[in-house]
Structure 1
Amino acid sequence: MAIEAVIWDFGGVFTSSPFEAFNRLEAELGAPIDHIRKVNATNHHDNAWALFERNEIDAARFDQLFLEESTALGFPIRGADVLPKLSGELRPRMVAALKACKQRFKVGCITNNVVSMHSPGQNEIQRAAGAMGQVMPLFDAIIESSKAGIRKPDPRIYLMMCDLLAVQPAACVYLDDLGINCKPAAGLGMKAIKVVDVDQTLADLAAATGLTFDAEEPA
């Protein structure tokens, strides 16, 4: 089936991965490397991250639950220390690729996020919102987990986007920096691209869409 839509994750795709900031925090605290990722991946449908991204708890409860979960897994880290690390640097080539795709295809965004008004570290959240402010108006449809009450990797959220864009899953390309979020998209018939770095992503996206993307940063 011909491609009709390109669906994007936001963090780790249009911005640098928060995992880099998580690793810096772990080093500062003396925690094992990738401990935060381990906490996030444990009981990933119902842990503190899942509840917060579905807007089922506030920041104070997230702070408490994340501390309990991280402690149980071997090293205590407060949720309040993790949230400010979510923002990243904007990737101009990815934004340019989105604009190129928009000229040919429908474009949508599915993002697992938190309600920023509930979040500590407002300066960091506001910087992330600034990046989102440059990118989000480009999309034809947006689904935010904190507003929808459902989050990736639940297959229903991908089908919700297909309904919004009026396309079949097999006519979609999906991009995400997490393999766990790519798997359900692929299972529905989408062409899933795991974002590892910008060069690899744009090469894979070019192969999937037939478009050509700039090899250098836009001026």
Structure 2
Amino acid sequence: MIKAVIFDVGGVLVQSPFIAISAYEQELGLPANYINVSLSRRGSEGAFQQYERGELAFTEFVDQWTNELNDTNANNTAFRRYLQRNELDTRMALPQQTRVSGDTLFARMMAVAETPNECVVELVRWLKACGYRVAALTNNFKDAGDSDRLKPLFDVFVESAVEGLRKPDPRFYLKACERLRVGPSEALFLDDIPVNLRAAKALGMEAVRVEIGRETLAVDQVKHILRTRGAYPPPAKI
């Protein structure tokens, strides 16, 4: 039976930073997902990923990330592979050079994250009223403003910048389970990024994807799962 629910923060509890990334791509005339591909192409060793693990100071991160975002040759190569994998138009004209500011982009991503997804916040409160333990499991940064603002909602708040681990590392998920005092098979996990959901499923967790603009659908899906696998009935009145 599911006894605990674990939430991602950006893109789940608050609006997705990908909204800001998409808008910035359009502003610069870059193809859709170009920056996302650049962000992910270095795997766990990119500047963004290192910053989420607390390994870089902000100024180091911004300088390194800006260099990575403007490494046009490498980013174009990665983007062509992305087009091929997704059977998209590989004849698309790609930029000869880019002028992406890591500082500007990061500020816009953080601004978007100031807006909560109210239906998901209400889901957290409903779950606690039902008797479920709830946790946040977030890839975040040192001194992230969302931590202090959101921590009171949760029984457990697990941060990449504190732990030195980040999703999709399975050890990071297990820390949340240990602190909730549940096994992975007793937890339901919500995230907006497929690779993070796959890692959760591999550990035995139930997983629900939260998509931009379809947050209420994810809330309904969680409640549907708990009707059959949940350990606690809903309260008569909240």
TM-score grouping bracket, smaller chain normalisation: 0.7 to 0.9
Q: Which residue in 2 is equivalent to 1:112?
A: 139
Report the RMSD for the aligned CA atoms in angstroms: 1.7
Please list, as runs of the form range in 1=range in 2, the aligned pairs for 1:27-38 lying within 5 A after superposition: 27-38=26-37
CA offsets per residue over residues 137-156 of structure 1, 9 Å max, x none?
01111111111111001000
Residue identity in the other structure for 1:163: E
Secondary structure class of the residue paired with 2:44: coil
Q: Which residue in 2 is equivalent to 1:217?
A: none
Please list, as runs of the form range in 1=range in 2, the aligned pairs for 1:52-63 lying within 5 A after superposition: 52-63=51-62
Shift of 1:42: 0.8
Residue identity in the other structure for 1:59: F
Which of 144, 147, 172 is the matching residue for 1:157?
A: 172
Shift of 1:193: 0.7
Residue identity in the other structure for 2:105: V
Q: Does structure 1 retain, via aligned residues, the 8 Å contact 2:66–2:103? A: no
Shift of 1:166: 0.8
User: Which consecutive segments of 4 or more residues in structure 1 shift more than 4 A?
Assistant: 131-134
State the distance in 2 between where 1:146 and 1:60 align.
Answer: 16
State the distance in 1 between where 2:204 and 2:179 align.
Answer: 17
Q: Which residue in 2 is equivalent to 1:69?
A: 68
> RCO (CA 8 Å, sep 6+): is it higher in 1 or 2?
2
Aligned residue-pair number: 199
Task: Please give the TM-score of this superposition, normalised by the length of structure 1.
Answer: 0.85
State the distance in 2 between where 1:67 and 1:200 align.
Answer: 36
Any gaps of 5 or more consecutive residues in structure 1? Answer: 117-124, 213-219
Task: Please give the TM-score of this superposition, normalised by the length of structure 2.
Answer: 0.78
**Paired-residue identity, %:** 30
Which of 126, 138, 144 is the matching residue for 2:153?
A: 138
Please list, as runs of the form range in 1=range in 2, the aligned pairs for 1:183-198 lying within 5 A after superposition: 183-196=198-211, 197-198=214-215
* Greater C-alpha Rg: 2
Q: Which residue in 2 is equivalent to 1:119?
A: none
Whether 1:178 aligns to 2:205 is no
Q: Which residue in 2 is equivalent to 1:200?
A: 217
Moved more, 170-179 or 42-51: 42-51
